[in-house]
Structure 1
């Protein structure tokens, strides 16, 4: 693909496949979910090589460094060569779920839990899913 000297951030994020449509990428910029050095940027911001962007999509945050300017959308394998994912491992969804999810297991063949079983399971979990990771539970 030919490289272009000037490219808008919304088009860049769409072309490297971080967003499904260019409109979604533009809306994310307008909503402040795309940042350059901690400051919000407009969809018309010019992308430069070596810049580091933080992109928030739902609960996930991704930090990328621009390694090439891609003008049009291509397949995922090619697009991956135009940016470097420098997201810390601790912020990846896989890492979070590995350490912060409860391990629930039922014996095979025991069937669906009864109401009593369900209350016991909920009691064991407490308010696990309402708390953020790292928050302490209050003592009553």
Structure 2
């Protein structure tokens, strides 16, 4: 008995696509980001149930990183990262913007980002000395 091959879907919920394309770890995180306005479909904010189709443009902000991608394919399941990257193509403007931000963070790191753990006794004295003055 021959089974007919399953055709890829023509459209898919945006929250499910973001999860399958590995922009978010879970669908609920993708839904929260959509509700917060961190995902725009063709320049407009949408709801999680909105359908996405190949050719649509998405602006995604995930963990201080902005992506602008064009949807190239749909997938019902979450696949390995190499296959997930085939579902979209990042625009050149987005790539250069991310590289610029990455370089700026490398040259001027966030103050205190190199500190780990509890302060030493000397550092604690300096902190108390500074805060007691004001």
| TM value normalised by structure 2 | 0.68
1:2/1:71 contact within 8 Å kept: no
5 Å matches for 1:6-21? 6-21=11-26
Deviation readout 1:19-54 (Å, 9 max, x if unpaired): 000000011111110002321111001011100000
RMSD: 2.2
Ranges of 4+ aligned residues in structure 1 off by more than 3 Å: none
The answer to whether the 8 Å contact 1:17/1:73 transfers is yes
1:55 to 60, 63, 72: 60
User: Could you say what secondary structure the match of 2:52 adopts?
Assistant: coil
Q: CA deviation at 1:87?
A: 5.2
The number of aligned residues is 104
Query: Any gaps of 5 or more consecutive residues in structure 1?
Result: 104-113, 116-140
Which one has a larger percent helix, Structure 1 or Structure 2? 2
Distance 1:37 1:5, change over 3 A: closer
* Structure 2 counterpart SS, 1:53: strand
- Tell me which residue corresponds to 1:67: 72
Q: Give the TM-score normalised by structure 1.
A: 0.66
